[in-house]
Amino acid sequence: MGGRTAGRVAVAASVAAVVALGTAACGGSDSTGKLDSWAKSVCGGIAAPIRTVADAKADTGRIIQGESPADLQTRLAADMGRLATGNQQIAQAVQAAGAPATKDGSQTQADAVSELNQAAGGYTKVQQIVKALPVNDQARFAAGLRGVSDQIGQLSTQSSAALQTLQTGDLGAALSRQPGCAAPSGTAAAGGSDTSGASPAASGSASSAGSAPSGSSASASAHGSAKPSGSASPKASASS
């Protein structure tokens, strides 16, 4: 009898262990499912604005031979507007997706949204600065562009950092499983060259939100490439 009792206890313990293991596995699956759902929502919402940011970043690095200061001013102001809009839309997508089901998920979401909105506001301010530059005074115009280039770099870093907060641990793994977060061919990830057109999952480079174009047309012109005739002829190579 003692042997039978011991055997039954052993069997019961084994069954309990299997049930416990199954419960844990289901819990993990449920957690993964929630994260995948969150990542799908985020990636679906940021795909278009990420491309907007990437295109605007690329344009700031375009060198147009013979472009006048006035035309350069108009183009860069438009780029700043697109960068502001893109970062704001990415922030809205992250907000709309809700807090991810992870420890400190709400704080992670709030931090990312706050940083992206701050970057958007910064780009709007830079846009106003660009619009106000004196195109008829080449020295002041060049000096203004140098300052703008520095600010773009700082905003790009801020935007990239915001996206990178979503790319660690389980969040990063969930984002990487979403096709919508794959970086477009030939571009850097959104978190890196914020610039680039990319995805938070692939971002260690783009700052989706990227890095500033130190070799951009703005920077090139700022370093004295504007011709006395009033046309800009930057020699620096573009970088996003």
Dihedral sign for Cα 78, 82, 88, 92, please. Answer: positive
pLDDT above 70 coverage of the chain, percent: 63
What interhelical angle do 69-97 and 2-60 show, nearest 10? 160
Residue found by looking up tokens 């300052």 in the block: 147
Q: Quick check: 172 pLDDT over 80?
A: yes
Measure the CA–CA gap between 56 and 88, rounded to whole angstroms. Answer: 14
Measure the CA–CA gap between 170 and 190, rounded to whole angstroms. Answer: 18
Contact 94, 46 (CB under 8 A): yes
pLDDT of residue 197: 35
CB atoms near residue 51 (< 10 Å): 18
Q: Quick check: 27 pLDDT over 50?
A: no
Measure the CA–CA gap between 57 and 182, rounded to whole angstroms. Answer: 18
Measure the CA–CA gap between 160 and 154, rounded to whole angstroms. Answer: 10
Residue found by looking up tokens 């770099």 in the block: 153
- Cα-based angle 171, 155, 212 (whole degrees, multiple of 5): 100
pLDDT of residue 169: 86
Domain boundaries, the chain: 34-225
**Chain segment 96-127, per-residue pLDDT in tens:** 999 998 888 899 999 999 999 999 999 999 99
- The closest alpha carbon to 96, from 56, 37, 52, 50, belongs to 37
